[in-house]
Chains A and B, each alone.
Chain A
Amino acid sequence: MLAVRDNRDRAAFARLFAHFAPRVKGMLMRSGMGAAAAEDVVQDVMLAVWHKAHQFDPARAQVSGWVYRIARNRQVDLARKAGRPLPEEVETETPPEADPGAILGLAQEAGELRAALARLTPDQREVISRAYLGDLTHGEIREETGLPLGTIKSRIRLGLERLRHELKDLRRE
């Protein structure tokens, strides 16, 4: 990503594309888009990654979280007549000044988050994934699984309690 940001490196962009394009497409299809529409959005998103690269700050975001935000913003934008209300951007230097300690700290936390997610049961991981990757409301989850809403909610709570417990060691003193 930094090669894309700092050197406008097209080969590095192609590698980012190879990694993220199928994942973004998978997420969009999971939340209800058809394959062709999803590919159009993937193209919009990856072009935005190229054009907004100067704003990417590895001390504040992992590439995956940054791409996730661009993809969600685009998806919601397209679903709304007036577009999605977006927060103002933080004014930073472009590219943002490198802060090696903060970059390392964030990368470590991201690694621990991945490890904590990997330790969840498949059921729990599915609940969290629905919340962040699907666009299902609770009502729709009930219809899809045939489970009453209370059960869904308590499953979510169990998933979260477990997650919080797992994630506790991320707490900084």
Chain B
Amino acid sequence: MTKIAHHIPDEMLAAYAAGRLPATFEMIVAAHVSMCDACRAALETHEMLGGTLMETAAPAAPLEGDLLERTLAQLDAPVEPDGAARTPPARMGIYPGPVAEALHHGPPRWRAAGGGVRQQILAEDGKSSVRLLYIPGGQAVPDHGHGGTELTMVLQGAFHDETGHFGPGDVEVADESLEHTPIADAGAACICLAATDARLRFRSLLPRLAQPFLRI
């Protein structure tokens, strides 16, 4: 696999660690981290900072009653398959685990989206959505104005636009100020995971914190 050149911005990794990211963007973060060791390390660093703050800064809340005894009594009970100890889903072909899970571990059911482009919407709630896009080689993605922020991650093939070239694992971050025309590279079709959220202003997402440890 070619080297990943375009990563998840650090602010988004921090927001994912803290549980502050919209669900559609969580899908992109989880898919990219599945493929990118650098971003996994960065995410784990944010979790380390979160854990340190949880230990030192959050007021500890005394437990009521016999929670320890009730917990000890359940140590030998069977693990719930979708409980807190659940095993994250595995990769399926070109689809990283979290995408495979959203596809219910079956192939995409493509629908025509115009100009030879096909799509399958994985989740949608009015202001935000996440979908798979299938773009034939050499084809431009039809104009799709995005309010808010849009993240696009390549799963197969590649595309290029005014800002650069994106191959498997790469993530393009676009806000409303970016006008671009992504074009799939000639050859095999380009399959992407694309998430939009009309409400999220990327620049306001938050802190660049743990950078000193990471991007050395």
Q: List residues of A whose CB falls within 8 A of some B CB.
A: 10, 13-14, 17-18, 21-27, 29-31, 35, 38-39, 42-48, 50-52, 60-77, 80, 82-90, 109-110, 113-114, 117-118, 125, 128-129, 131-133, 135, 137-138, 149, 153, 156, 159-160, 163-164, 167-168, 170-172
B96 close to chain A: CB less than 8 A = yes
Q: Is the CB of B82 within 8 A of A72?
A: no
Which of B40-48, B111-119, B134-142, B176-184 forms contacts with chain A? B40-48
Residues on B with C-beta less than 8 A from A153 are 204
Q: Is the CB of B47 within 8 A of A88?
A: no
Q: List residues of B whose CB falls within 8 A of some A CB.
A: 14, 17-20, 23, 26-27, 29-31, 33-34, 40, 43-44, 46-64, 67-68, 70-72, 74-75, 79, 82-85, 87-91, 96-98, 101-102, 123, 204, 206-213, 216
Residues on A with C-beta less than 8 A from B60 are 22-23, 25-26
Which of B82, B97, B216 contacts A87, CB < 8 Å?
Answer: B97
A86 to chain B, nearest CB (A): 4
Residues on A with C-beta less than 8 A from B23 are 80, 82, 84-85
Residues on B with C-beta less than 8 A from A89 are 87-88
Residues on A with C-beta less than 8 A from B74 are 43, 47
- A47-B51 contact given A25-B60, A131-B14, A131-B206, CB 8 Å threshold: no
Residues on B with C-beta less than 8 A from A82 are 23, 102, 123
Residues on B with C-beta less than 8 A from A74 are 84
Residues on B with C-beta less than 8 A from A170 are 212-213
